[in-house]
Amino acid sequence: MYRSHNCGELRASHSNTEVTLSGWVQGIRDKGFMIYLDLRDRYGITQLYFDEERTSKDLMEKASKLGREYVIQVKGTVVERASKNPNIPTGDIELLVSELTILNTSLVPPFTIEDKTDGGDDVRMKYRYLDIRRNPVKNSLILRHKVAQAVRNYLSNEDFIEVETPYLIKSTPEGARDFVVPSRMNEGQFYALPQSPQTFKQLLMVGGMDKYFQIVKCFRDEDLRADRQPEFTQIDCEMAFVEQEDILNTFEGLTRHLLKEINGVEVEKFPRILYDDAMRLYGNDKPDIRFGMEFGELNDVTQHKDFGVFNSAELVVGIAVPGGNKFTRKEIDNLIKWVKRPQVGALGMIYSRCNDDGSFKSSVDKFYDQEDLAKWAEITGAKAGDLVCVLSGDKNKVRAQLSALRMELATQLGLRKPNEFAPLWVMDFPLLEWDEDTERYHAMHHPFTSPKPGQLELLDTNPGEVKANAYDLVLNGNEIGGGSIRIHDKATQAIMLKHLGFSEEEARAQFGFLMDAFEYGAPPHGGIAFGLDRLVAILGGQETIRDFIAFPKNNSGRDVMIDAPASIDNEQLKELSLKLNLKQ
């Protein structure tokens, strides 16, 4: 056998035991008469040593020629260390080596295999198999495994059945572009990779499976942001004979279970907030409620003076920054520069200092007196020692801008603590949203989301006011799950597709299989899908998902390690009846 123990296992209780270890050479300290070596595997590090008084000359010479990341096997005796290392679990012992076998050599790695490495993102992505040896990535992948196992255990105990659904499906309009796969056996036709298993899980409900889940890969061919992947993983779930409350209770339970199992945290409250209120109070539909700084709308107390910037604005809105009066003028100027960046897009920022003596000092003292500024403080909830930051402009834009500023300030002030967890449900989203480019309504979630009870008739008279029977689960300012009660009858689904611009023929071509299924006794049903990548990152106290994915793509959607995507040869193109028409 290659090993009797792993490199994180040995303790003082193993002293005087003969053991065999295998792993990678983490580092070597050659003192001439004595050689120390750190041997690493997935489980930890064990210090080896070679002593010229007790080690043969040949073995000393062999050890001195080892390099970083060599794969070796050693046999020896566990002894208590004279100088213990309290920073590692095996720090009380070391291994006096009697035999050494080199299992494989290694080139010098392009970056150090340490927790804090000298490798940049690009080089670590290219050599991802080396990056995985580092504790931060290794532990992130282990955490992902633990979360997936905890999800499976919880849902299985709740009588959910794990069912796999196809990856080669039909292209359907769900918001983003599909990845398509040409069919060799069906000339000129294409499969699509699923953006989600949405229609299949609904068909499973028609099939009587009652409670379904799947940890499943999904695919969207869309422009990438820094923290978005073209392939991502969902915890996909569906339930039959349920109302909204049943789903919320079930998946509050799952979230509590994960926070307890993974983080040792007990969370009882899952507040609920309407979508309209989330936008009004936080400027986005996934608010971070670990801290305050709720928006205060100031139109009534700002648009009565000769300050044209506010008078011409659709919305004047502010937040109270706790302790913000201590900011220097330079720090406030930097905030103004921050909101004027193209990524945020504000034209500027007005501020008012709330002094300890109850007075106020603002950047617009020329226009507003102490009584006015006191009303600003009252509406935003500002107290002595705080700073009121105010933005103005188009309602939707300014809310997004102030939301970005709120999050930036919370980061600067240390209010976004990764070991605190604040979940909430956002409810009653708009069913439809208007698209200026196509000049028609699109489904905010997907075409199978049902309207709130009693609002179906509004589709004909005021479609923009119809609310969806939909809900998102938000954790620490990130949407970790979203779902809805589905449409389960053919007539309602046909009305919905009509309002989304589908003709009867187009609806039949795209979704005929689902419409037909609804005529065979489809039960009321609904569900939710969690983003596993995002969920694991938050449970791991991180903001980005990349280290929680074994082999991620870069921001251009490329796998730089295997150099994909790549061209295919002419013979394959011919077999697939494809001809390239590349732009010159």
Which parts of 39-195 fold into alpha helices (H)? 57-64, 121-126, 128-131, 135-157
How far is it, in rounded angstroms, from Cα 4 to Cα 76? 11
What is the distance between the alpha carbons of residues 446 and 57, in angstroms, rounded to a whole number?
A: 72
Distance CA 129, CA 125 (A): 9
User: Residue ranges for the binding site?
Assistant: 174, 220-222, 229, 445, 479, 486, 531-534
* Annotated binding-site ranges for ATP: 220-222, 229, 479, 531-534
Contacts of 403 (CB under 8 A, 6+ apart): 282, 283, 284
Binding residues for L-aspartate: 174, 220, 445, 486
Contact 50, 59 (CB under 8 A): yes
SS in 3 state form for 1-52?
Answer: CCCCCCCCCCCHHHCCCEEEEEEEEEEEEECCCEEEEEEEECCEEEEEEEEC
SS3 255: helix
Q: Find out whether 475 and 423 touch, Cβ atoms under 8 Å.
A: yes
Q: What spatial distance separates the first Cα and last Cα of the chain, rounded to whole Å?
A: 59
As a whole number of angstroms, the distance between CA 24 and CA 3 comes to 13
Dist. CA 565–CA 559, nearest whole Å: 7
Helix, strand, coil percentages in the chain from 3-state DSSP, rounded to 5: 30, 25, 45
Contact 122, 560 (CB under 8 A): yes
The H-assigned helical ranges of 419-501 are 458-461, 490-499
How far apart, in whole angstroms, are the C-alpha atoms of residue 385 and residue 353?
8
Q: Is 453 helix (H, G, I), strand (E, B) or coil?
A: coil
Give how far the C-alpha of residue 431 lies from the chain's centroid of Cα atoms, to the nearest Å: 24
Q: Which amino acid is at 136?
A: P
Residue 101: how many other CB atoms lie within 10 Å: 13
